């Protein structure tokens, strides 16, 4: 079928009625991901003017590569599927764009060549491709992970196997996935004396997307590892606590309610997942002509002001747990600020928020506002 996205025309296979894409596929649900990628690449080119080469490591229909080529990047499209390679070439020709198209395994391609920007967008976990990417990328690694159930702990054993960490299925499960993924990527990069800094990260629908700026120094890798640690979480009152370091020392009893149903997760990334100034730059460069402009602006606006606390809360879940009514989110956040705490909306859902208050302090502020 024919589709138009970001000003380019594509010929793509139809999506399966079972919701499972063909081996060479175009996923319309990833349009926001791809639109944000183009805006991020534009902002990053201003941040690092020498960045010029871009690898679309699993090109499939070629949509990412064609769009990057249309935006002026020196593009290489790679895929091990011969049908994907042919389709990518046809879509480049259809749009009068040039790129190198390689029929090869992505890992072999990355080990043989060096790129300024590498984009990993596999079906499922990106971890099998992370070593080659960090070993052979100069500036920016863009990563999509669609295996959100293992990442957030819903498929516990799979998460442990894939990410060499312990995920837990908590009420902030999307952010658990974000921080498990970033932890695994930081540890992988460190093996090559590469430090990573997440400059934009979001958990949207069925995937996590992150953009990692690289610094090729052992001390930078050490600094990234220092951002790792563990989370302790109470299943009864939803209290949570972060603990820096690679040696786990989980809480055995909840300091808020005294409960013993404690979960421990990690190592997770505890540091910031955005560069707020960079997010603002991406927002400025997001074209209104893109099909996801409204959704992207709303997302980026939230990310721009989202606090760097390592977990988020859901107001409705908290109020239900306490047997209290939930007021309007703006009023709820204002109550927290009036009580002396930082508070912001979070991008994980309409009633999600971040604050430096713990769950007991949030409840006190909520009850005080109710008189």
Which CATH number is 343's domain given? Answer: 3.30.56.70
Kindly state whether residue 234 falls inside one of the protein's structural domains: no
| 86 and 13 fall within a common domain | yes
77 has binding-site annotation: no
DSSP state, 28? G
Q: What is the CATH number of the domain that holds 20?
A: 3.40.50.150
Q: How many domains does the chain have?
A: 2
| 10 and 116 fall within a common domain | yes
Domain range for 109 is: 2-228+267-305
* pLDDT at res. 21: 47
Q: Are the CB atoms for 2 and 9 separated by under 8 Å?
A: yes
| 330 and 214 fall within a common domain | no
Q: Give the Cα-Cα-Cα angle 291, 295, 301 (nearest 5 degrees).
A: 130
106 has binding-site annotation: yes
Residue 258 neighbours by CB distance under 10 Å: 10
pLDDT digit string, tens, across residues 166-213: 999 999 999 999 999 999 999 999 999 999 999 999 999 899 999 999
| 298 and 318 fall within a common domain | no
pTM for the model: 0.96
| 292 and 162 fall within a common domain | yes
* pLDDT at res. 64: 96
pLDDT band, very low/low/confident/very high, at 28 (cuts 50, 70, 90)? confident
Average pLDDT, integer, range 35-59:
97
109 has binding-site annotation: no
Does the pLDDT value for residue 369 go beyond 90? no
| 321 and 221 fall within a common domain | no
Beta bridge partners of 96: none
pLDDT digit string, tens, across residues 282-341: 999 999 999 999 999 999 999 999 999 999 999 999 999 999 999 999 999 999 999 999
80 has binding-site annotation: no
Q: Which residue reads 């040039």 in tokens?
A: 98
Q: Are the CB atoms for 142 and 119 separated by under 8 Å?
A: yes
* pLDDT at res. 24: 55
The Cα 348–Cα 303 span in angstroms is 10
Q: Hey, what are 5's tokens?
A: 């996205």
The Cα 308–Cα 272 span in angstroms is 5
Residue 191 neighbours by CB distance under 10 Å: 12
Give 180's contacts (C-beta < 8 A, 6+ positions apart): 151, 152, 159, 163, 165, 167, 265, 268, 269
Does the pLDDT value for residue 22 go beyond 80? no
Does the pLDDT value for residue 134 go beyond 60? yes
45 has binding-site annotation: no
Does the pLDDT value for residue 55 go beyond 50? yes
Domain boundary pick from 305, 331, 351:
305
pLDDT band, very low/low/confident/very high, at 73 (cuts 50, 70, 90)? very high
| 330 and 195 fall within a common domain | no
Does the pLDDT value for residue 23 go beyond 80? no
């Amino acid at each position: 079928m024919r589709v138009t996205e970001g000003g380019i025309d594509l010929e793509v296979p139809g999506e399966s009625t079972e919701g499972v894409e063909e081996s060479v596929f175009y996923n319309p649900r990833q349009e926001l991901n791809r639109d944000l990628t183009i805006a991020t690449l534009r902002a990053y080119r201003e941040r690092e003017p020498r960045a010029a080469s871009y690898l679309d490591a699993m090109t499939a229909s070629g949509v990412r590569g064609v769009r990057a080529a249309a935006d002026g990047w020196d593009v290489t499209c790679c895929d091990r599927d011969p049908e994907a390679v042919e389709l990518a070439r046809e879509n480049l020709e259809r749009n009068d764009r040039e790129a190198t198209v390689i029929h090869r395994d992505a890992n072999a391609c990355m080990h043989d060549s060096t790129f300024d920007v590498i984009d990993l967008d596999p079906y499922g976990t990106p971890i099998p491709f992370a070593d080659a990417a960090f070993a052979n990328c100069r500036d920016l690694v863009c990563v999509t992970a669609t295996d959100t159930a293992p990442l957030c702990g819903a498929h516990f054993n799979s998460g442990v196997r894939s990410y060499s960490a312990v995920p837990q299925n908590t009420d902030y499960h999307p952010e658990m996935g974000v921080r498990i993924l970033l932890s695994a990527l930081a540890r992988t990069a460190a093996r090559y004396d590469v430090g990573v800094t997440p400059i934009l990260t979001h958990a949207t629908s069925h995937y996590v997307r992150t953009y990692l700026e690289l610094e090729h120094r052992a001390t930078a890798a050490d600094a990234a590892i220092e951002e790792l640690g563990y989370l302790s979480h109470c299943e009864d009152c939803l209290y949570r606590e972060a603990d820096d370091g690679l040696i786990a020392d989980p809480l055995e009893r909840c300091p808020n309610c005294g409960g013993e149903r404690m979960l421990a997760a990690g190592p997770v990334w505890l540091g910031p997942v955005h560069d707020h100034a960079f997010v603002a730059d991406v927002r400025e460069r997001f074209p209104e002509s893109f099909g996801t402009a409204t959704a992207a602006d709303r997302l980026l606006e939230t990310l721009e002001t989202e606090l760097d606390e390592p977990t988020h809360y859901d107001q409705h879940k908290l109020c239900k747990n306490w047997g209290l009514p939930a007021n309007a989110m703006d009023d709820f956040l204002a109550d927290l600020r009036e009580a002396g705490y930082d508070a912001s909306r979070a991008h994980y859902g309409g009633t999600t928020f971040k604050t430096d208050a713990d769950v007991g302090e949030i409840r006190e502020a909520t009850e005080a506002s109710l008189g």
